[in-house]
Structure 1
Amino acid sequence: MEFLVQAAPQPAEKRNRGLVKSVLQTRAKVRLESMAPFRNSTVDGSVRPASPSWLRRLGGRFLPDRHAHHHPSIIPAVFEGQVLAGRYELVERIGAGGMGEVWCATDKELRRAVAVKRATTGDTDQLRREARIGAGMQHPNVVTVFDVIPDGNDRLLVMEYFPAPNLAEILNNEGTLPPRRAAEIGAQIASALAAMHAKGIVHRDITPGNVLVAGNGTAKLTDLGIAIWRDLTLTGIDRVGGTRGFVAPEVTKGRVATSASDIFALGATLFATVEGTPYQPPGTPRRAGRLAPVLSAMLEQDPAKRPTAEQARRMLHRTSGRPRRITALGAAVTVAVAMLGATVWQLWPASSGSPEHPVQALAPPNFRSVMGDPRTADPCALTDPGTLARFGQPQLDSDYDNGYLNQCDVLVRLSEDKKDEADVRIALEPPEPNTPAAPSSEPPPVRFEPQDLNQGECRRTIRLSDTFRVVITAKHNDDRPADLCAMTDALTAGATRVLERGEVPRRAHPIDAASVFRLSTCALLDGSETAAAIDGATPPEQGFGDWKCRWGSKTDGRSASISFGRSRPLYSRDGDQIRLRGRETWVQADGHGAGTCVAQIVYRSITDLKDRSELEVVIVEVRGGAGEQLCQPATRLADAAAARLPR
């Protein structure tokens, strides 16, 4: 921001006094305006901390000058109105800390407001380093360094004057920020880090005090004093640079800070911004909402598992983004996306289809599929058991339960007790009905849904631009208390890192040509057969990979479904054994809970990855009523399906 003065002829001394007065008045006005958006920041779920003592303990440079702990100056003090280096007239001190102080000053030659930083300890090496690194950085989210000049025995760092509070001031005065606002700020700082890391620069001190936020939403990263070039010899430089509470764990152990360390520090800063307390592992976000899985990814203890700055920027940007607007126009629904214009496509073409019987959505011109062919997508490739190691002993079990090919489980032993076990599952799910595909300008477009904790299960949903979903759930197998939502966030973070690379990975081994999973469930039953089983049957709803098909009822709560699965060998406990079309079938009332009847048709015997005997089965279920009464229509549907199975 520049403060220009009318070039009316008047004495130089009078002009400078007028400029100083203008700068002071403008700075006070700008700071008041820049704080205005945060005065009601406790609305929409944010919480005002009762006593932000942790902010005060961080040190003076993170709070306004009145909070600073002033060290005895080794070099002479300066005062308002003093001119340094024959050019910079000091207006007001705007910050101070253990290493130096920052003044708002008037550049008498260019007649603009600048920030002047000077050392107060006599050690100017850090200023030289900050100037050298800052001179190589020109980015809209980094405070610009203009010059470093000598002034006697002193050195001055001349920087862009950006009149805005830092995050520590906002947290100290106004309380925490809503997750979406924090994500907007984080995306800008991640963009700055991406530019720094591309030049081989590591900041090493990302904290709330070093992030400035203006009233218009612009965020800037400042204080490059302890930043380093990656190839710089660290002789004479503190290897464990940074601020306690925001330093990556590998740095506290004496390892050299890397770009991954900056990502951890940014994650810790955003954690404090939404939670109101510093991050302490294994801290779990409680107020972060849809930002929680992004924070979990950035705060990974293993630096190799953290996203890059560019990946973090995309994740934060999407978390802060507004949902697409969908407008109904008569019988057609159009979705407009503003990208140098408007790309419009129809969900229901006017010539055919209707909201009751929708046809497949038309993809926009720049559509990119993230899921790819559902039958070759591998859910286990999105599952990283290591992300759950902090909760207990994780073990991947891709053949768990009924072995549905669209899901993968991690069993986490939480203690020595064998029954103290959590099941964290990733499932690939089809699009919800009438959901339009979205354009993809940068892969892979994902959107997080709010967490849902219900009946002892925590659920997190990632929505992909091609309308498919990745659903992560966690439950305790013995219904004991456990931090289930933290587990879903951890696994979500790992899945997101994989999705950031592009398409969902493919299966290492294709599905056997003789497998039942090569067939189509919806093709095994026709409309007349389902109509005979349930009154007012709706059109079929196709499941993921066409491995499940479901029919509802327009008149009552009854429904029918057919699906493919894998099962351990079946016994009398699995129901009554009968034969349908020459195939063994097991029929059980209340097999999937009260008010259900389940018929399992054995398709073939196989051996799983652990060399155990398994069955591929066709599962027919009818629900909605007394279980015994439902077994007759369930058996009729199973018989019709068995008749269409290949021999």
Structure 2
Amino acid sequence: MGEDRTIAGRYRLDEHVGSGGMGSVWRALDLELGRVVALKHSTLADGGQIRREARIGAGLHHPRVVTVFDVIVDEDARWLVMEYLPSRSLGRVLADDGPLSPEAAARVGAQVADALAAMHDRSMVHRDVTPENILVVDDGTVKLTDFGIARWSEVTRTGGALLAGTPGYLPPEVAAGDESGPGADVFALGATLFAAVEGRSPWGGAEEGPYAQIRRAASGVPTTPESAGDLGPVLSAMLATTPADRPTARAAKSMLEKVGGIDLASAPVTMGASAPRRAVRRWGLGAAAAVLVAVTAGTTLAIAERSAPTTTQSAVPAGMATMGDQRSADPCALLLEETVSRYGKVFRDTEYGNFNRCGLWIKPGPTGEEIVSVGLELLEPDTGAGPTGDFGVKAWMPEAGGTCERFLDLLDAHRARIVAESDTVEPKNLCPVAESVLTGAMSVAARGPVPRRPVPFASNSLATLKACELLGNADIVTAAGVELPPSRGFGDWDCAYTDNREIEADVTFYRIRDFEFARPGKRMEVINGRRAVYSTFTSGDDKQSGCRVKLEFKPYTKVTEEGNQWIEVIHFDVELDSAASPDKLCSVAETMARAVAGRIPFG
């Protein structure tokens, strides 16, 4: 996109002045009014960020906030028309001139707090207060900008879960998966002022990498400032771990005015001198890696590192956001109950399904009809959702049939699949639940490898066996009539056999409540002293026919909200072309089950 282009027949682009957040900004001339303006163009294909920023900006008129004039459309692209302010971002000021004195930082902070107080009065939350989003004019005037991920707070409370912000400035509650409120803005401003005097954020310098910063943010223990002087007590209050312990933006403004020696209501503001130059590692906010973590309904966003071409990216700490050993990885550790507690009474579901799964039941009270169940499964690399290898979120629109599905990719190409489902809740209402769970899982994964199971499997558990070792090649040929190469699944707890022709077979480990194992009306046999239940099904868009034989492995007792008597079972699923009879399908599955039943030990 070149200079001298005219947008919407009115705004002539004169100079590209920078990129930040999720947009690119140009200095332009309004040919109708003859004034210089700033035009921001979304780097997201759908332009939703521009519309959101326009709505937020249009609802806020304040001398400490960059004014939004209009939003226009040109060749299907949306542009935001804003006040043009000859200025530098605070990040650029710090990168060029070094840290500020405590008094100068307080004068900047008081003006930003004034803007935040006005936003909070209107039930708005900025959610990304950083040095890059604070513009500083040479005369010391400061304005807050970039409302691309801002929200009205009531929307934040009731909409999909969001983990949004820049890692060095994330409040602990947001890093842990909670939603942003006014207190989060106060914390982010405190973190920004900390960086202004210390040369690094309270979660460490950018050279340490964004994942280390997110992990520290979730811990809730910021670094102690060394050069804050009289600003130190104010920073301590603004950086309190609990939002309720932080001052309001208006109270923070008063505290900062005292340190800065100003009264915004009556006196002009000057920046004053920077702190004496000292040996600090350049943190380069304008160029160093930043991370935007966002989970929004119907959108695919990954954690994206943004940097200038000359910046050297920090290496991700070893093992961060990785799976580690599959059989000891704990899916339950990625489920934070507090992320969905607002939807109802939450019960942990540790037993149902394969050993790679953990879940939550959400009900209106201790007893009553289920609202929704959420399952989190740990998956093999590149399972079910396209390319992997980045740490971030893969989000899909809800599917039919009362389900909403989301994926979280880990850095070693493994992923977690989250499915919210219900027979009574519409899919559009399930996605906020799934995204809340996903946000919590992301905050846990950002702290290190997926946590290990606190208690190993019992030595007689089905989980200690390997599905692909239960049947040999001769067993498959005997059952199916052809050789079918095996393909192991996560943790060796399932095994798929297929030659990409018209037959598929799967051996899968499972856990189920005792009363669900043999429902009335189902065919049941006894194979080598073990119960076996037969059922037929159809799957896929082509409605391919299949038969399942559930072979009992071991009953066990575990006290849970959903029941105390459970069974470990092995599923033998066989699918053939639609012309195959149910008897043929079940004959293949039964032959496989009989071969295994004669070999496995009784638990």
Coarse TM-score class (shorter-chain normalised): 0.5 to 0.7
Match of 1:518 among 449, 459, 464: 464
Distance change >3 Å, CA 529–CA 170, structure 1 → 2: closer
Distance change >3 Å, CA 636–CA 591, structure 1 → 2: farther
Inter-partner Cα distance in structure 2 for 1:28 and 1:487: 46
Three-state SS of the structure 1 residue aligned to 2:412 is: coil
What is the CA-CA distance between 1:495 and the residue it aligns to? 0.7
**How far has the Cα of 1:539 moved from its partner?**
2.2
Q: Match of 1:550, SS?
A: strand
**Partners in 2 of 1:63 and 1:369 — Cα distance?**
37
Do residues 555 (structure 1) and 501 (structure 2) align? yes
Instruction: Report the counterpart of residue 567 of structure 1 in structure 2.
Output: 512
- Closer/same/farther in 2, CA of residues 127 and 534 from structure 1, 3 Å limit: same
Q: How many residues align?
A: 425
Task: String of CA shifts for 1:593-631, please: whole Å, max 9, x gaps.
Answer: 982211122222211134822222222111234433311
Which one of 393, 398, 401 corresponds to residue 350 of structure 2? Answer: 398
1:121-140 equivalences under 5 Å are: 129-130=106-107
1:432 alignment partner in structure 2: 382
Alignment of 1:346-365 (within 5 A): none
* In structure 1, C-alpha distance between the alignment counterparts of 2:108 and 2:52, rounded to whole Å: 39
- What is the alpha-carbon distance in structure 1 between the residues aligned to residue 66 and residue 108 of structure 2? 23
Q: Which residue of 2 aligns with 1:167?
A: 146
Structure 1 residue 426, shift from structure 2 partner? 0.9
2:559 counterpart SS class: coil
| Secondary structure, aligned partner of 2:398 | strand
Q: Which amino acid aligns with 1:518?
A: T
Greater relative CO, 1 or 2 (CA 8 Å, sep 6+): 2
How far apart, CA to CA, are the structure 2 residues paired with 1:371 and 1:590? Answer: 33
Deviation at 1:509, TM superposition (A): 1.3
Query: Which of 485, 490, 497 lines up with 1:544 in the alignment?
Result: 490
1:631 equivalent to 2:586? Answer: yes
After TM superposition, give the deviation of residue 642 of structure 1 in Å.
1.3
Mapped partners of 2:300, 2:549: distance in 1: 41
Match of 2:391 among 441, 446, 451: 446
Equivalent position amino acid for 1:289 in 2: T
Match of 1:589 in 2: 536
Q: 60, 63, 66: which is aligned to 2:62? A: 60
Q: Is the 8 A contact 1:533 1:633 kept in 2?
A: yes
Structure 1 residue corresponding to 2:363, chosen from 392, 413, 417: 413
Checking the alignment, whether the CA contact within 8 Å between 1:575 and 1:587 is kept in structure 2 is yes
Residue 252 to residue 422, structure 1, CA distance change in 2 (3 Å)? farther
Contact 1:62/1:169 (<8 A) preserved: no
Matched-pair contact (CA < 8 Å) for 1:35–1:170: no
Range with bigger deviation, 495-504 or 412-421: 412-421
Tell me the distance in 1 between the aligned counterparts of 2:459 and 2:416: 26
Asked if 1 retains the 8 angstrom alpha-carbon contact of 2:524 and 2:531, the reply is: yes
Q: Distance in 2 between matches of 1:453 and 1:484?
A: 8
Superposed CA offset, 1:134-165 (max 9, x none): 9xxxx984879899xxxxxxxx6489xxxx99
Equivalences for residues 2-13 of structure 1 within 5 A: none
| CA offsets 1:560-617 (integer angstroms, 9 cap, x no match) | 1112222223435273222223323222333999822111222222111348222222
* Closer, same or farther: CA 612–578 of 1 in aligned 2, 3 Å: same
The Cα of 1:290 is off from its aligned counterpart by 2.1
Q: 1:285 to 1:595 in 2, by over 3 A?
A: same
Is the CA contact 2:393–2:409 (under 8 Å) kept in the aligned structure 1? yes
Corresponding residue for residue 329 of structure 2 = 377
Counterpart CA distance in 2 for 1:509 and 1:170 is 41
Secondary structure of 2:376's match? strand
When structure 1 is superposed on structure 2, of 609-618 and 424-433 the one drifting more is: 609-618
Residue 406 of structure 1: how far off its partner (Å): 1.2
Q: TM-score, normalization: structure 2?
A: 0.56
CA RMSD of aligned residues (A): 5.6
Q: 1:416 to 1:52 in 2, by over 3 A?
A: farther
Q: Is the 8 A contact 1:64 1:169 kept in 2?
A: no
Change (3 A) 1:365 1:500: closer
User: Could you give the per-residue CA deviations for residues 488-516 of structure 1, whole angstroms, max 9, x where no partner exists?
Assistant: 11101111111111111111211000111
Deviations 1:447-473 (A, max 9, x none): 221324212311111121222211111
Q: Which residue of 2 aligns with 1:602?
A: 552
**1:284-323 superposed matches below 5 A:** 285-286=296-297, 288-290=299-301, 316-317=303-304
* Counterpart residue identity of residue 406, structure 2: R
Letter in 2 for 1:61: P
The aligned residue for residue 502 of structure 1 is 448
Distance in 2 (CA, whole Å) between partners of 1:50 and 1:472 is 27
Q: How many angstroms does 1:483 deviate by?
A: 1.5
Aligned counterpart in structure 2 of residue 422 of structure 1, from 340, 350, 372: 372
Counterparts in 2 of 1:53 and 1:643: CA distance versus 1, 3 Å? closer
Give distance in 2, aligned partners of 1:129 and 1:499. Answer: 35
**Per-residue deviation, 1:547:** 0.8
| Aligned mates of 1:378, 1:42 — CA distance in 2 | 37
**2:398–2:428 contact (8 Å) kept in structure 1:** no
* In structure 2, distance between residues paired with 1:42 and 1:590: 46
Q: 1:464 aligns with which of 410, 423, 430?
A: 410
Q: How far did 1:233 drift?
A: 9.4
- 2:158 corresponds in structure 1 to none
Q: Retained in 2: the 8 A contact 1:589–1:628?
A: no
Structure 2 spans left out of the alignment, 5+ residues: 1-12, 19-23, 28-37, 70-81, 89-95, 112-129, 151-161, 171-187, 201-229, 254-291
Shift of 1:30: 5.8
Residue 493, structure 1, aligned to residue 439, structure 2:
yes
Contact 1:419 1:478 in 2 (8 A): no
- Asked if structure 2 preserves the Cα contact closer than 8 Å seen for 1:535 and 1:555, the reply is no
Q: Which amino acid aligns with 2:404?
A: C
Structure (1 or 2) with the larger CA radius of gyration: 1
Q: Secondary structure at the match of 2:395?
A: coil
Checking the alignment, whether the CA contact within 8 Å between 1:458 and 1:488 is kept in structure 2 is yes
Distance 1:198 1:128 in 2: 9
Return closer, same or farther for 1:460/1:365 CA change in 2, 3 Å cut-off.
Answer: closer
Aligned counterpart, 2:278 = none
3-state SS of 2:343 partner: coil
Mapped partners of 1:473, 1:40: distance in 2: 35
Change (3 A) 1:507 1:198: farther
Q: Deviations over 1:153-210 (max 9, x none)?
A: xxx6489xxxx99435999xxxxxxxxxx99995687699866556899x9xxxxxxx
Identity %: 21
Q: Classify 1:250/1:536 alpha carbon distance in 2 versus 1 (closer, same or farther; 3 Å).
A: farther
Q: Does 1:641 align with 2:593?
A: no
1:476 alignment counterpart: 422
Amino acid at match of 2:535: Q
Could you tell me how far apart the structure 2 residues matched to 1:477 and 1:365 are? 42
Q: Structure 1 residue 645: deviation in Å?
A: 0.8
Map of 1:207-246 to 2, 5 A cutoff? 229=231, 231-232=233-234
Deviations 1:63-84 (A, max 9, x none): 65797xxxxxxxxxxxxxxxxx
1:25-71 C-alpha deviation (Å, 9 max, x unpaired): xx97465994279665386111354994642332233665797xxxx
**CA distance in 1 between partners of 2:442 and 2:317 (Å):** 25
State the TM-score, normalized to the length of structure 1: 0.53
Instruction: Supply the AA of the counterpart residue of 2:595.
Output: A
- Give the unaligned 5+ runs of structure 1: 1-26, 68-93, 97-101, 106-112, 115-124, 148-155, 172-181, 204-227, 240-247, 259-272, 276-283, 292-315, 322-337, 344-363, 439-444
Q: Distance in 1 between matches of 2:462 and 2:527?
A: 17
Which letter maps to 1:568?
A: R
Shift of 1:474: 0.7
